[in-house]
Amino acid sequence: MISAVIFDIDGTLVDTVDMHAEAWQRAFRAYGKELDWATVRMQIGKGGDQLMPIFLSPAELAAFGEALDQRRSAIFKHEYLPRARAFPQVRALVERLKGDGIQIALASSASQEELAYYMQLTRLTDLLDGATSADDAAVSKPAPDIFAAALVQLGHPAPQTTVVIGDSPYDAMAATPLGLRTIGLLCGGFPAQALQDAGCIALYHDHADLLAQYDTWVRM
Cβ-contact 48, 105 below 8 angstroms: no
CA–CA distance from 127 to each of 4, 15, 62, 84, 159 (Å)? 13, 20, 41, 21, 21
* SS3 at position 151: helix
Give 160-180 pLDDT, tens digit per residue: 999 999 999 999 999 999 999
- What pLDDT is recorded for position 1? 87
Partnered with residue 130 across adjacent β-strands are 105
**Cis previous bond, 58, omega within 30:** no
**The model's pTM:** 0.95
Contact 144, 177 (CB under 8 A): yes
What pLDDT, on a 0 to 100 scale, did the predictor assign at position 141?
A: 93
- Which segment of 4-8, 17-21, 45-49, 84-88 scores lowest on mean pLDDT? 45-49
DSSP symbol at 127: G
Whether the CB-CB separation of 152 and 131 falls below 8 Å is answered with: no
pLDDT of residue 109: 82
pLDDT of residue 3: 97
